[in-house]
Chain A
Amino acid sequence: MSDVLLPKNLHEVWKIFDKSSETLVYAGGTDLLVKLASSRVPHSTPNVLVCLENIEELRNIRETDGRVRIGACVTHSRLLSHPLIRDNFPVLPKALRLLGSPPVRNMGTLGGNICTASPAGDALPALYLLDAELEISSQKGSRFIPIGQFIKGPGYAELQSGEILIAIWLDKNNDYTIHHFEKVGQRNALAISIASMAALIKLSSEGIVEKIRLAWGSVAPTIALSSEVETVLIGKPLSQVVLNEARPLLNQAISPIDDIRAKAEYRRTVAANLLIRLSRYNGHDKV
């Protein structure tokens, strides 16, 4: 049996960490409690479960100096309805709309999606492209780390003991005119992705790619980036021919595996199709 504590502020969290050695934190519990129920947790059952969902400071979204700070325990539902997110980072709600189901989005948090560090985490490709910076705190103080350095491998995030994720910081000034996310799963709702892609694109008035960034889910141990693909697309239109030519470069950038949901080869095909489907924006510079 574990005790379950719900601290109201960070000070109380640090006190709990001081007193008990075997603690495990959670937010919405949509990853952790599923794992606990099937006892797939690395350690045995912890003595103390610390639920962070009542900590006000981790639950708000605010703007300071052109940056938006999202508390780690903000739920996906909350992000989906928040004007700061909708207006400045449309790629994020586009991804979150496809995450789980309404009750999973009411419970699940952005911080939980990051700390779970799944290659299929649907918020992650968007956060990589938005250059999300993570605020990690412990009793000793805070540090900031880009999301790409924080997530080390499947299920493995760089959190030291006594540390928790406090907030996700995003820069407001991005001038990408197309915010895109697409995921392919086995069905529409409640599907873990077989492959997914987030894209931020800026087209010139003639429909030529001025800037483009791509991030890929479920096709590598962590979110995959594909800078060679981006480079080759700059200065060209998003035509099927051009996108098709970039396929071999995409193949080099990803390293999918076989698992219960799909074979590696199939994931490669799906990823290539996701790339080619960007041709829908050919000549249309819209979100």
Chain B
Amino acid sequence: MLNGKEIVINAEPDQRVIDLLREDLGLTGAKEGCGAGECGACTILVDNESRLSCLMLAAQLEGKTITTIEGIAKEGEFHPLQEAFIEYGAVQCGFCTPGMILSAVDLLAKNPGPTREEIKEGMSGNLCRCTGYQKIVDSVEMAVSKMGKKGRQ
């Protein structure tokens, strides 16, 4: 399952997942920053948990549910995290954004009401060279409060 659709992938078993996504499947949202697990730009969700696609091989995806940033918006509507990132200026060059948002999705799934400290900790595997993180943490906080309100309605 890739972004909600059942698919069959033909790939070399030892191809890195980041290359499979970007080059073979045309999903260029995940970025390669370091290729060594340190920057988080290549984050994807595998069975709803954040993982680094630069440290996974294609064969590992068999039978798994994969979500990339391209699969986060639902029915043409942005995810509240995406809206908040845009609204609060948490995107500058955008290189880190897909990974940041997917890490935040994972964090909120495990902890729907994180404190600011918990947000920082939850996003600590994602590096951003542009924003200084303040606005990213703000955006996640805003998305949390919006999603909470929606949940209560």
Residue ranges of A at the interface with B (Cβ–Cβ < 8 Å) = 1-6, 28-30, 33-34, 37-38, 49, 51, 53, 77, 100-104, 106-107, 188-190
Contacts and interface: CB of A to CB of B under 8 A. Distances in A.
Contact of A2 (B14, B36, B121): B14
Interface stretch (B1-9, B46-54, B79-87, B138-146): B46-54
B103 interface: yes
B14 A4 contact: yes
Nearest to A32: B55
Contacts of B40: 101, 103
Nearest to B12: A1
A101 B122 CA distance: 8
14 contacts: A3-B13, A4-B57, A6-B60, A6-B62, A28-B55, A30-B37, A30-B52, A49-B14, A101-B126, A103-B125, A106-B50, A107-B51, A190-B38, A190-B124
Contacts of A53: 60
A106 B40 CA distance: 13
A104 B50 CA distance: 9
B107 A102 contact: yes
Given A1-B12, A190-B38, A101 B125 contact: yes
A4 B60 contact: yes
B35 A37 contact: yes
A188 B35 CA distance: 21
Given A1-B14, A34-B36, A37-B35, A103 B56 contact: no
Interface string B97-133: 0000001001100000000000001111110000000
A3 B37 contact: no
Nearest to A105: B125
Nearest to B123: A102
Given A29-B57, A51-B57, A190-B125, A103 B36 contact: no
Contacts of B107: 102
Contacts of B126: 101
A250 to B, nearest CB: 31
A56 B51 CA distance: 19
B14 A103 contact: no
B68 interface: no
Interface in B11-58: 12-14, 35-38, 40, 43, 49-52, 54-58
Contacts of B91: none
A30 B14 contact: no
A107 B59 contact: no
Contacts of A2: 13-14
B128 to A, nearest CB: 13
Contact of B59 (A4, A28, A30, A38): A4
Contacts of B54: 37
A106 B51 contact: yes
Given A1-B12, A4-B13, A34 B55 contact: yes
Contacts of A28: 55
Nearest to B58: A4
A101 B124 contact: yes
B88 to A, nearest CB: 22
A54 to B, nearest CB: 8
B37 A102 contact: no
A240 B60 CA distance: 51
A104 B38 CA distance: 9
Contacts of A104: 37, 52, 125
B55 A33 contact: yes
Contacts of A33: 55-57
Contact of A34 (B37, B62, B103, B125): B37
Given A5-B13, A102-B121, A103-B50, 14 more contacts: A29-B55, A29-B57, A30-B52, A33-B57, A34-B36, A34-B55, A38-B36, A49-B14, A102-B103, A103-B52, A104-B52, A104-B125, A188-B124, A189-B125
